[in-house]
Structure 1
Amino acid sequence: MPLTPEQTEPVLDREAIAAIDPTDQLTDVLALPEHVRDALWKADSANLGEWDSPGGLIVAGMGSSALGGALAGAALGDHASRPVFSARAYGLPAYTTPDTTVLCCSYSGDTEETLACFEAAGALGARRVVATSGGRLAAEAREEGVPVIPVAGGLRGFAAIGYMLVAALEVAAACGAGPHLTSELDVAAEHLEELVVEWGPEGTEDSDVKVLARALQGTVPVIVGAGITTPVAHRWKGQINRLARVPSFASELPEADHHEIAGWERAEDLGRFSAVFLDDSDLHPRVLARIALTREIVERHSAGTHVLTSRGQTAVERVLSLVLAGDLVALYLAVLQGIDPAAPSCVEQLKGDLQG
């Protein structure tokens, strides 16, 4: 199904969005360019210095905080000189050594899994850096002399993705895992400003992002990434889950073509599923062929298939373009369903139950 509007109502302008979004989450989504610039300044203010970590970098965190590390790895791509891993658990991977740098990311500073990783890294003697807006993590880091990259307060954790991506890139450069991408991030922020105009509420109603949000309404979206768009697919999935309160799943090509694709044969018997393929200009030619062929197969059994291609020249530009697109699709989808994107969810209930 091509990205052509099936309907033009309801209009996704500021007035319509404000009626559903009383805490103005839209502004935080549209502020991604400013977040990237502010994150660079904040990382510089941390005076990290430089050191050599032969074991590479592990980014420990949960949700969007961990995803910053995965996006950083995608943005670095072939320019990474050491491995960049993510740890999303109560402990660090078994291969963590004192020669590894561990970046502990938690927006609130109170994420229990990240606090456990911070302690584990200290016990191993690994070099530690923290990215947070405060909480226990900031307090413990400062008490132990661990550098803290500050993150702006007043946001919801998932809106701080720009800060977490920049923190991971800056620590990767500091520990020798990759080059500095400061100039690339500056250019990416300028490019994002152009996309905010095109895709934001002032953009036309037939923009790709608004049309896609309408097309996904009433479906269970499966977001399919490949190469550098794989972590972005997980970002889309998480934002659709959290903002729009819709089941959504992330997948990856070419792996999805070896088992998962067979499951689509019965998808229409179980519900209305849709697929979004996140394309990129630097994907392997065989992956591009797989996107086209996989889409043909899925189309027969789904409520619709869609392709959205990254925008920009550098990898960091292209990654951030799709992050912005996914955040807007999720927010627009929430508005179309009449759901306040910042309303309390079962996530908060679960955290409360665990503490009780």
Structure 2
Amino acid sequence: MHQLDDLKLINEIDRSGMWKRLIAFPNQCEKAKRFIDGLDVPFYSEGIENIVISGMGGSAAGGDILISYLRENLKIPAIVNRGYSLPLFVNEKTLTIVISYSGNTDETLSSLKYANEKGSKLIAITSGGVVEEFCSRKGIPIIKIEGGGQPRESIGYIFIPLLVLMEKMGFIEGQETDILETIELLKTLSKGYSPESTENDAKRLSLDMHGKIPLLYGIHGLTDSIAIRWKNQFNENSKIPAFYNVFPELNHNEIEGWDTNHELGHNFFVVILRSEDEAENISRQIEITKTILSDSVGGIKEAWGKGNGRLARMFSLIYLGDFVSYYLAILNGIDPTPVKNIERLKRQLRS
């Protein structure tokens, strides 16, 4: 029996039971949809000229995925803001959506106060904390989500309300079918990626990558946000360094870095996150890049999204990455849940 098929060993390493929460992710998405479907929006899209989604870490990931997904449907500019301040253009015609899973993120609270001072239309997505307290005092609408977990494990609670909110406010339309397809696909994938499944794509990829530094290559406007997600999951779950870049930009700089020093390059394992929606010229770039890199890195694999709709394909890739990062943690003998360095940093900042 391989160690990734040994549930007793997995439970000994994964003391907080992350694998059970990963398996339950489709239910999280389903629950988030029921919750947001029952809420009324505080205002509509009229008069809003731009959107800023402000958050950090796992809380910001939902914004990355939303903007990538809506790239060809959203008619006004939208950005994700990571930091204490906001861009100068933020004003009363801006919709600022502040996301802090814990409600106690210093950077996000600072940007919330900045947006409020600028007269921006504001909505907060949080499970509580100081963000909820501030918004309650100021009369700022709150979408209160379920707390108690890790932000990176709560992407369903963050993304689904964001997407449905965009639809309810009138920025987009027709998301119901895509959301339902995504949830049903995730339910199927959860069985195939679970520790009990021996014929398991996530386990296979983690075994291929074990001992290497992950390098994720996404596609601009399609899988770029997913590459960031994979990178961050390897950092937080697997406790290893990981890096990402994006086609076609990487072929104007990074590709040259593989020309020499193959000994160094063989420490890296490249995963290319592909999409059925990619343009032919991008597909050609990817194939040529694979040929150029083949002797310079420690391995190359492709991961393709599953499903009919674009949302399903995106989330199937996200889900695969979550499990691959989890199984890498198990292979490394590391409990994936604690984030000791992040907590240490926060403690020292507060002292």
Q: Matched residues, percent identical?
A: 30
The answer on 1:209 being equivalent to 2:224 is: no
Partner of 2:76: 82
2: CA distance, partners of 1:310 / 1:131: 28
- TM-score after normalising by structure 2: 0.94
Correspondence 1:185-264 to 2 at 5 A: 185-205=179-199, 207-226=200-219, 227-264=221-258
Q: CA deviation at 1:323?
A: 0.9
Change (3 A) 1:189 1:82: same
Partner of 2:342: 347
RMSD: 1.7
SS of match in other structure, 2:72:
helix
Q: Name the stretch that deviates more: 326-335 or 79-88.
A: 79-88
User: Is residue 169–residue 180 contact of structure 1 (8 Å, CA) maintained in 2?
Assistant: no
1: CA distance, partners of 2:172 / 2:201: 34
Aligned amino acid, residue 9 of structure 1: H
2: CA distance, partners of 1:148 / 1:45: 14
Aligned amino acid, residue 326 of structure 1: G
SS of match in other structure, 2:62:
helix
2: CA distance, partners of 1:223 / 1:64: 18
Partner of 1:303: 298
Aligned amino acid, residue 334 of structure 1: A
1:242-270 per-position Cα deviation (integer Å, ceiling 9, x unaligned): 11111000110000001011112345333
SS of match in other structure, 1:40:
helix
SS of match in other structure, 2:225:
helix
Partner of 1:285: 280
Q: CA deviation at 1:210?
A: 1.2
Correspondence 1:75-114 to 2 at 5 A: 75-114=69-108
Change (3 A) 1:260 1:286: same
2: CA distance, partners of 1:264 / 1:200: 36
Is there any run of 5+ residues in structure 1 with no aligned partner, and where? 1-7
Partner of 1:29: 22
Aligned amino acid, residue 241 of structure 1: N
Partner of 1:11: 4
Partner of 1:73: 67
1:129-149 per-position Cα deviation (integer Å, ceiling 9, x unaligned): 111111000111122222211
User: Is residue 65–residue 106 contact of structure 1 (8 Å, CA) maintained in 2?
Assistant: yes
1: CA distance, partners of 2:96 / 2:300: 39
Change (3 A) 1:20 1:112: same
SS of match in other structure, 2:71:
helix
Match of 2:131 among 128, 137, 147: 137
2: CA distance, partners of 1:274 / 1:312: 26
Partner of 1:127: 121
1: CA distance, partners of 2:36 / 2:139: 16
2: CA distance, partners of 1:200 / 1:299: 31
1: CA distance, partners of 2:337 / 2:169: 36
Aligned amino acid, residue 163 of structure 1: Y
Identify which of structures 1 and 2 has the higher relative contact order when contacts are C-alpha pairs closer than 8 Å and 6+ apart: 1
SS of match in other structure, 2:334:
coil
Q: Count residues with an aligned counterpart.
A: 348
Partner of 1:338: 333
1: CA distance, partners of 2:168 / 2:297: 46
2: CA distance, partners of 1:67 / 1:179: 22
Is there any run of 5+ residues in structure 2 with no aligned partner, and where? none
Q: CA deviation at 1:21?
A: 0.5
2: CA distance, partners of 1:19 / 1:38: 30
Aligned amino acid, residue 39 of structure 1: A
Change (3 A) 1:107 1:84: same
Aligned amino acid, residue 66 of structure 2: A
1:78-135 per-position Cα deviation (integer Å, ceiling 9, x unaligned): 2222222100011112222211111100110000111011111111111111111110
Change (3 A) 1:14 1:149: farther
User: Is residue 125–residue 143 contact of structure 2 (8 Å, CA) maintained in 1?
Assistant: yes
